[in-house]
Amino acid sequence: MNLPNYFLADLPPEATLSPMMIAAACHTLKRNREKYLLTRTTEDLVKILCEVAVEWLQPENKFRRLALELGPEQTGFSQATLARGLDAFFRRFTPENFQALLAQDLGADTDRHFWHGPGLLVHIAAGNLPNPALMSLTLGLLTRSAQFVKCASGAALLPRLFAHSIYDLDHKLGACLELAEWRGGNVALETALFAEADCVTATGSDETLLAIRSRLPAKTRFLGYGQRVSFGYVAREVLRDEDISKTVSQAADDVIAWDQNGCLSPHVFYVEERGAIESDEFAKRLAVELANRESSAPRGNVPVAEAAAIAARRSMYETLAAHRGDSKLWASQGSTAWTVVFEHETRFRFSPLNRFIYIKPVPDVAAVLPGVDEIHGKVSTVGIAATPEKLPELARQFARWGVTRICPLGQMQNPPLTWRHDGRPALGDLIIWTDCEQ
């Protein structure tokens, strides 16, 4: 790859990191922050972030091209999936959207001298998809923090390209970022890193978060984002001839985005019965749509163990379908590329993901809530397709139950900049305020 060695993650694989290197990198970051970052205005930072995004949206942009060229091999996503995901992400980077985020999390007219971000902000990124790491870096820039991203093993490509694209546009901002890659749990490196950090954010399983938190010095703040699951809900009013194509297409968007690998991707769509088009017909049409999407935006290659999980699940449903007429299976032939399972059991099922979706018919939203009881407190997003008349009441019911994000179907993997991550203000939680009482 034609990228200069700016970051630790750019070093050749044979280079060994030492705790001393990590500590030295943190000291440099802190110095650079003092020199180059603290003086910048928020408007200036927003402007640069928007410029970076405009660059990424250009087909000829070198970082985008590298991402699409090297991504399929390194991330397991197809070019089309990467392109769709990155486009959706960077299109959110507009001055208006950043203004909305600042206004929401910090207040519209707040004097920037009365809030500050962590001196050194450390991110422990998960490896499944790149957006969260890119968003973490973005928020950290807005808080004028020096930042160190510990990428998951084998998942540094996109964060690196994003950091390089910032460096390319503004060397001084780039000098306030550091990225490195190692297998999580390397105590020597992580102890050196945590000793320098003012705040650590981490994304991962509950065990991972607990392990990280237990090793942080008392002075260091911790923001942990645990694993979440998501599902969709389709109201019967949109299951009519004039809406069905759109609804099915939106559902497919959510299944194929990042090959269903993120916390915001649906495992299940609950579909109301007694629409003009029945729920099993919706499932069948979604299967057709997923087959079409496989030609235009194919799923990436998945490890054999994940494919085996899909194959095992499919064969169970095949067997079940042979004995019970009320469950159905549609699946790609000769591959595990996509699978739709229709079953009346309303209990939530964990999908093996990689474009494997459950469709479960329900009489109404009240029938969903007992079914999702076992994932209570673990749900991120509910994507809803409903008429404007029905939507508010559905949203109220899910909110009361404890869902932290409700969005239109088709947008589940595409949260706005103002998204409160797991219900908490992602930018606001980084901030330390100075109260100045009159």
The binding site for other proteins (CB under 8 A) comprises 304-313, 315-324, 334-336, 347, 349-350, 352
Tell the smallest beta-carbon distance from residue 53 to other proteins (Å): 35
Q: Among positive and negative, which fits the CA dihedral 233, 235, 241, 242?
A: negative
Strands 432-433 and 115-116, how do they pair? antiparallel
Residue closer to other proteins by CB (options 247, 339) is 339
Report DSSP letters for 54-120, one per residue.
HHHTSTT-HHHHHHHHHHHHHHS--HHHHHHHHHHHHHT--HHHHHHHHHHHH-TT--GGGEE--SE
Tell the smallest beta-carbon distance from residue 345 to other proteins (Å): 9
Tell the smallest beta-carbon distance from residue 183 to other proteins (Å): 16
The answer to whether the beta carbons of residues 419 and 264 sit under 8 Å apart is no
CA distances from 108 to 45, 52, 101 (A): 16, 24, 9
Tell the smallest beta-carbon distance from residue 344 to other proteins (Å): 12
Structure tokens, 57: 């949206």
Structure tokens, 162: 């994003």
What is the C-alpha to C-alpha distance for residues 220 and 332, in angstroms, rounded to an integer? 49
Residue closer to other proteins by CB (options 40, 328) is 328
Report DSSP letters for 299-361, one per residue.
PPP--HHHHHHHHHHHHHHHHHHHH-TT-EEEE-TTS-S-EEEE-S--S------SSEEEEEE
Residue closer to other proteins by CB (options 56, 348) is 348
Residue closer to other proteins by CB (options 173, 310) is 310
**Helix, coil or strand: residue 200:** strand
Looking at residue 53, its amino acid is A
Residue closer to other proteins by CB (options 267, 405) is 267
Report DSSP letters for 123-154, one per residue.
EE--SS-SHHHHHHHHHHHHTT-EEEEEEPTT
Residue closer to other proteins by CB (options 113, 323) is 323
Run of H or E including 246 = helix 241-256
Tell the smallest beta-carbon distance from residue 47 to other proteins (Å): 45
CA atoms within a 13 Å half-sphere pointing along the CA-CB vector of 336: 21
Tell the smallest beta-carbon distance from residue 25 to other proteins (Å): 34
Residue closer to other proteins by CB (options 69, 326) is 326
Residue closer to other proteins by CB (options 81, 250) is 81
Tell the smallest beta-carbon distance from residue 364 to other proteins (Å): 24
Tell the smallest beta-carbon distance from residue 320 to other proteins (Å): 7
Tell the smallest beta-carbon distance from residue 264 to other proteins (Å): 19
What is the C-alpha to C-alpha distance for residues 403 and 396, in angstroms, rounded to an integer? 10
Residue closer to other proteins by CB (options 12, 334) is 334
Residue closer to other proteins by CB (options 48, 320) is 320
Tell the smallest beta-carbon distance from residue 343 to other proteins (Å): 9
Report DSSP letters for 161-174, one per residue.
HHHHHHHHH-HHHH
Looking at residue 64, its amino acid is R
